[in-house]
Structure 1
């Protein structure tokens, strides 16, 4: 009788252990799947950086052969000022599978069949090299850049007296990999629909990492990534960041953390104080 009870008890213990092991295996499989999906996403986002605009050196090389590798492409217009019907048109590009000769008479035929919905978000993603501001009522288009740039997101900020468009863009191949993309140092650009002024905010040997408007103000809090080893790109995992305030009205970049506090904290960290 006792032996049978012991056998039943052992069977129950084994069943519980088996259930626990099965649950652990299922949870491990779910975590592994989530991790794999995340890694694939990271890899995709990283590989997208390869599709920036070609570096100046590469362009010169192609021009000598009268060739090109990329073509201009236009994205769907985004309504940013519904009252005055002002749209922005992101200018992107397509990288050809192989280089082709440039034809002097080349004209790109564009479709006018754009979808202009009334609803729009405040942030737009892509791979852009310019931005056009389209004034529908006055039939006018303004081009923001004369130089070659690359950016992948555009944000709009709405105030009582004006609308601002801002984004982080690279204009030089600082990483020296033959492509101007988001791995290179980025500066912050702010465009006012009201004044049509384009402001550029940059810090030497640094990359614009994060941007946020001060509450109820046009001033900005900007986090810059310092390229400490000066290899042309900012590594968020091994290189430091600094925080600065941008005074929108005066166009000044101001330290939030004083040099005195910075030195004190650094010495305390390294044990020299």
Structure 2
């Protein structure tokens, strides 16, 4: 009986070890396949806003090959206390290119809190603002643009949508995305006003509200060699602010302070 018991124990141990080994192999294989799929997806997906030129055929119509088509995301409620929504508009790459003719003049048609802040990243070509109580719907941008980051800020009655994006193909790679100079845009809901804030030879890296103030800090990358590429390891960053009440850019770090600190690290006396 003792021999039989010992045999059964050994058999159970062997079976248990085999099951554990099989489970471990399956887990490793599954994780490997998952990682590979992620790599394939990240490597193959390219949804930057492509630069395309429409060609006139000498008449009142324009022909071009469409390679991307707009796509709408689900509406996002800006404020849970109000029925105000934003609808992001992105783009997808078409598997089969489409030849499109546009007749002249017709265009293309496609079928309470005092403080709140939320931000989103992605790549979008427009946004639609919808105010349900006012039955007001509007596209925010009237030009071709690639938006890479956006947020909604509500503070003491001021409601503003902030966008980081580009309207130019600065690095000449035939598409507009976050590799181009980024500009700050602000859409003020109260009076339906879109404002653009550009910074010469600088790109907007990010922004965030400064609590208990009317300011939004803006992080800028300085393109010192003006090659339309910001090198985060070898080129400096600056901070400025947007006052969402006055709607103006305000520098909180003066030129004198920057000079004094630079002189310290340069070893230059006063």
Say whether the fold is shared (TM-score over 0.5): yes
Contact 1:176 1:232 (C-alpha < 8 Å) held by counterparts: no
| Shift in Å, 1:104 | 4.7
The structure carrying a bigger strand percent of its residues is 2
Q: How does 1:92-241 map to 2 (within 5 A)?
A: 92-104=90-102, 108-109=110-111, 122-241=118-237
| Shift in Å, 1:172 | 0.8
Q: State the alpha-carbon separation in 1 of the partners of residues 74 and 174 from structure 2.
A: 29
Q: State the alpha-carbon separation in 2 of the partners of residues 107 and 185 from structure 1.
A: 30
Distance 1:262 1:221, change over 3 A: same
Q: State the alpha-carbon separation in 1 of the partners of residues 158 and 243 from structure 2.
A: 16
Distance 1:98 1:236, change over 3 A: farther
Distance 1:214 1:47, change over 3 A: farther
| Shift in Å, 1:267 | 3.7
Deviations 1:101-140 (A, max 9, x none): 015598655xxxxxxxxxxx92333320111001223433
From 66, 69, 73, give the equivalent of 1:68.
66
Pairing 1:263–2:251 present? no
| Shift in Å, 1:270 | 3.9
Distance 1:227 1:87, change over 3 A: same
TM-score scaled by length of structure 2: 0.70
The structure carrying a bigger helix percent of its residues is 1
In structure 2, the partner of 1:59 is: 53
Q: State the alpha-carbon separation in 1 of the partners of residues 89 and 134 from structure 2.
A: 21
Q: State the alpha-carbon separation in 2 of the partners of residues 200 and 47 from structure 1.
A: 33
Contact 1:81 1:163 (C-alpha < 8 Å) held by counterparts: no
Q: How does 1:30-41 map to 2 (within 5 A)?
A: none
Point out where structure 1 has 5 or more consecutive residues left out of the alignment: 1-32, 110-120
In structure 1, the partner of 2:85 is: 87
